Amino acid sequence: MLWVDKYRPRTLDKIIAHEEIAQNLKKLVSEHDCPHLLFYGPTGSGKKTLVMALLKQMFGPGVEKVKLENKMWKIDAGTRTIELELTMLSSTHHVEMNPSDAGFQDRYIVQEIIKEMARNRPVDTKGKKGFKVLVLNEVDKLSREAQHSLRRTMEKYSASCRLILCCNSSSKVTEAVRSRCLNIRVNAPTEEQIIKVLEFIGKKENLQLPPGLTARIAAQSNRNLRRAILSFETCRVQQYPFTINQALPPLDWEQYVSEIASDIMKEQSPKRLFSVRGKIYELLVNCIPPEIILKKLLSELLKKLDSELKHEVCHWAAYYEHRMRLGQKAIFHIEAFVANQSLVQMEPVSSFDHLKDSLCASFSRISYV
Amino acid sequence: MSSRRSLFLSIFPPNSPTPPNPLLRLGFSMRKRNPVLVLSSSDEEGNGVRGCATSDSRCSSSRVSSSASAARKRPRGRGSRKNLHSASRDRHVVEFDLPSEEFCDHLHDLSKTPGITQTDKKELWTEKHKPHSLADLAVHKKKVEEVKRWLEERMKAPKEGIENCVLITGRSGVGKSTAIHVIASLLGADLCEWMSPTPTLWEEHVHNSNSGIQYMSKLDEFESFIEKIRKYSLLHGAYAEELRKPTILLIDDIPVTKGRASFSRLRKCIKTLVQSAQTPTVILITEYHKTEPVDSATEFWEELESSIEQAGAYKVAFNPITENSIKKTLTRICQEEKCDVPAQWIDHIARVSGVPSDTHGELNYGSPSLFLTRSSGDGHTNPQISLPWGRDEKITLFHALGKFLHNKRETPPALAPDLFTLKKKYARNPLKMDAPEEVLLQAHGQARTITDFLHENVLDFVSDEATDSGWVVNSYLSDADCILASIVHPKFCRITETNESDSVRELVAASVAVRGVLFGNSHPSPSRWHTIRTPKHWQIEQTSRHSKIQMLPERFATYRTSSFCSLSSIATEYRPMIKWFYSPVNVHAHDNISESLHREDDMDCTDGSLEGKKSEESEEDDIEDW
């Protein structure tokens, strides 16, 4: 078992990084009335850990006996039936799933599957009616329709089920959903907290820690606790006993992105653009989300650019990040950003002008046809 | 003679040259379930107008005498309104005559060509100049001879145990049915045709189901027809009084089926027909699939053909008519009509109707357009003008893409006295092609496909010096993608929007993409041979989807976590890190990362999670030994 999983705090008492939140949650459970919850915060900050600990506090160790199911759902959507495959993790007390995996059909999941689960109410051994907990991940990636149906489900079945939502950014969750939940912000742990956790693990594993290693790992982890622990364990696998200036294992995709960035800076030509495209494809095949590629690419570029250009590049990155959300094919937008980048230095032309021109032209054409 | 066309004429006054006007159609749709009336399913009828119930009673009277013989072989036995108001018959006929005469008058107005007698034009030229002898047929002599010999043999000695079926295939308009008709009349045989029912409209169906009439699909009708002629040999019974005259059964209009179940029904039907046919039977199959490459029914027709052949039918394939024989026929018509049409026009019509890659030789098409030539012009206009009534010339998707990508432009004119001059970077020379949207229409391309192809290939066509072209092109493609996404994605689509706005959007998106490419590629690289690749990201998307599905169970099985974790964190954090566990090489040696990415991919796909776990455990053991 990976250290990340092995040393994951199982109960609310043992949580190191977010003690205050843990205490509050504990109070919430002791009052036997748990509202819908919305956990939000950056990745690797401990949202999931908090949720699992909370569930254990509520239902006891039963929640840890989970099974993974891959189920086909047939959904009758008026004129046609839609088949959806959905992976879910369930115990007797809770069900966990990623509704946004269904892509643009996510609203059917919310409307049908979640409703179905929310409807049947578990009865505990004493005959008392309990409630079921649905843990939904990545709620911010749900489409608007899906979020609206989620709101409806929340209202209607609030007696028999509780929803725990997890997401990175609460701004992408509609106000209607947010206002029906108790919002819990989970901060990224500070570097001191990360160091504390790493040292705790080191003590448990009986490791000799050279001074400064944990600090370096924490600094490189970008305040992502999961990443810190993973790279700590990798260090351990690579070389033990630790040396003082031990190299930290880099993430291959991050290096790859920085390679792309230096490619871009070196030369700008259609040929180069084409090779960059190939590299981005490589990353996409490995399931690196396009948003993350773009973000990392930007940060790599910012390291290399003059300070006057930084503003402009950021602007375009934001612009194409937005387009990526609007559009379907991420590669189009990443490539447009990559191609655009060099031009910022020469002459910024507003893309809106082009768009307007071409739209006008095409509309007038259509009206003739 | 009861061919499709002559039947049509027996209902309309023989000189009505065109499909009936709405009033007439109303009458037909009312009577469409009347068993005694014979209508063909050719597109003259079918879209009836609902809502005028008053004419129903009158229309329900039927005209037995005009089409009695044909009516008898009508497969349907359900008689809902069999009582005939023969009294109202005359009134009825008058009613039919009236509008069609009006219509003819209008048609006369249309064609004010001097020098032609009015009586000439009461028939379509396809009807009027229908071949009456074997020599007139534009089909290849050998094929006709083959069919004729076969039919003769069968009619002379209708032996038992011999397959009595012939299958004729060919593209639309090559003259399959015409050939059969000519041969039949030559042999002095009666030609009986299966008349398929008129298609039912949805509104009609709703109306009928209220009145208790059950819906019967064309396939159902066909099935029952086959059943009937097999059991009762109905054709012989119907023609008992003229037994000596041989009959040929012609099946021209095989029902089109959708889905495996109905297809197998159809196949069974045809098999029984082929195997149990008593009279010589001719089955015609039009090869639509060869003219319409986009048609998905290709395999359906091919399978049907082969199954008919397997059942023992004799197959004759009619080749497409050559341009020359079209020209010959057209010239003959011109001579008979005594009009002088420039030779170029005939050439042009022949060429357009027989574009080699597209629709090979369609005589049906040729003569109407000749007719139009005659009626519209006085025969002396400039032959250079393209005929406005020409069939849409189709081009392939790749042709269109080539046009867009090569981006050929006129050389700049010497002087440009424009009202306003564009900035230099916006100015482009005029295109050496039609408007891009027209090219798109001709290519039948879908916006998404076009955009993908353009994106994949455009960089090859941009010259290496033009650094800014890449961006402009890409920014347009990104615009196009955004527009397209709002179509498929219901995420950003408001509920009030209808399909129409979607199709407009698709047009706009395609146009933005194409024009963006044309505009942005301001310095196209010197033209040379390029292959056009299929978009790679189709494949990329597929593989990444596949590995996404794999990822989660893999993680769960390997590390027994008790909770989910998002795919992105698996991809960006767990997998790269875990990879270091498996390959405890020096951290600094990571020269070619792309290779390592590949390696990891392979490993994940092939080894499966079990092996991965083992190796991890063994490594941990090693460490503890230290």
For residue A197, count other CB atoms closer than 10 A to its CB: 22
Q: Is the pLDDT of residue A113 over 50?
A: yes
Nearest residue in B to A221, CA atom: B573
Which residue has tokens 């009708």?
Answer: B221
Of A66, A268, A326, the CB nearest to B492: A326
What is the interface size between A and B, counted as CB pairs within 8 Å?
270
Question: pLDDT, tens digit, for every residue of A315-327?
Answer: 888 999 888 888 8
Q: Which segment of A77-91, A206-220, B10-24 scores lowest on mean pLDDT?
A: B10-24
Round to whole Å and give the CA distance between B455 and A233: 43
Round to whole Å and give the CA distance between B484 and A90: 38
Q: Which segment of A289-298, B61-70, B250-259, B426-435 scores lowest on mean pLDDT?
A: B61-70
**Which residues of B are less than 8 Å from A236 in CB distance?**
623
Please identify among residues 117-156 of chain A the ones whose CB lies closer than 8 Å to any CB of chain B: 135, 137-138, 143-145
- DSSP structural state of residue A40: E
Q: Which segment of A271-280, B55-64, B190-199, B342-351 scores lowest on mean pLDDT?
A: B55-64
List Cβ neighbours of A110 (8 Å cut-off, separation of 6 or more). Answer: A99, A142, A146, A147, A149, A150, A153
Q: Is the pLDDT of residue B438 over 90?
A: no
Question: pLDDT, tens digit, for every residue of A335-367?
Answer: 888 887 655 554 444 445 555 555 555 555 454
Question: For residues B473 and B521, is the Cβ–Cβ distance under 8 A?
Answer: yes
Phi first, then psi: what are they for B587, rounded to 5°? -65, -30
| Whole-number average pLDDT of chain B | 63
Taking residues A101-107, report their average pLDDT: 73
- Structure confidence at residue B94 (pLDDT): 45
Question: pLDDT, tens digit, for every residue of B532-580?
Answer: 788 888 888 888 888 877 776 776 666 556 566 677 777 777 777 777 7
B398 pLDDT band, cuts 50/70/90, is: confident
- Structure confidence at residue B564 (pLDDT): 65
Taking residues B350-372, report their average pLDDT: 49
List Cβ neighbours of B404 (8 Å cut-off, separation of 6 or more). Answer: B436, B439, B454, B514, B517, B518
Print burial letters for B359-397: b (CB count within 10 Å at least 16), e (below 16): bbbbbebbbebbbbbbebbeeeeeeeeebeeeeeebbeb
High-pLDDT (> 70) share of chain A, % = 88
| Whole-number average pLDDT of chain A | 81
Question: Which one is predicted more confidently, B587 or B411?
Answer: B411
Please identify among residues 11-30 of chain A the ones whose CB lies closer than 8 Å to any CB of chain B: none
Question: pLDDT, tens digit, for every residue of B314-333?
Answer: 788 777 777 777 777 777 77
Taking residues A259-265, report their average pLDDT: 86
List Cβ neighbours of B625 (8 Å cut-off, separation of 6 or more). Answer: none
Taking residues B416-430, report their average pLDDT: 67
Question: pLDDT, tens digit, for every residue of B169-209?
Answer: 777 777 777 888 888 888 877 777 777 667 777 777 777 77
**Which residues of A are less than 8 Å from B597 in CB distance?**
252-253, 256, 282, 286
Question: For residues B137 and B131, is the Cβ–Cβ distance under 8 A?
Answer: yes
* Full DSSP string of B488-534: H-GGG--TT--HHHHHHHHHHHHHHHHHHHHHH--SBPPP---PPPP
Helix, strand or coil for residue A232? Answer: helix
What is the nearest CA distance from A174 to chain B, expressed in angstroms? Answer: 13
Give residue A44's region: left, alpha or beta (phi > 0; psi -120 to 50): left
Question: For residues A142 and A169, is the Cβ–Cβ distance under 8 A?
Answer: no
Can you tell me the ipTM of this complex? 0.77
Cβ distance A137 to B566 less than 8 Å, yes or no, reads yes
Interface probe, candidates A286, A342, A369, chain B, greatest B C-beta count within 10 A: A286
Cβ distance B573 to A359 less than 8 Å, yes or no, reads no
Angle among Cα A312, A316, A317 to the nearest 5 degrees reads 115
Of B452, B472, B601, the CB nearest to A286: B601
The encoded tokens of residue A123 equal: 């009865």
User: Amino acid identity of B482?
Assistant: C
Q: Is the pLDDT of residue A39 over 90?
A: yes
Angle among Cα B548, B551, B554 to the nearest 5 degrees reads 155
| Continuous H helices in B170-297 | 176-187, 202-210, 218-232, 234-238, 260-276, 288-291
- DSSP structural state of residue A96: E
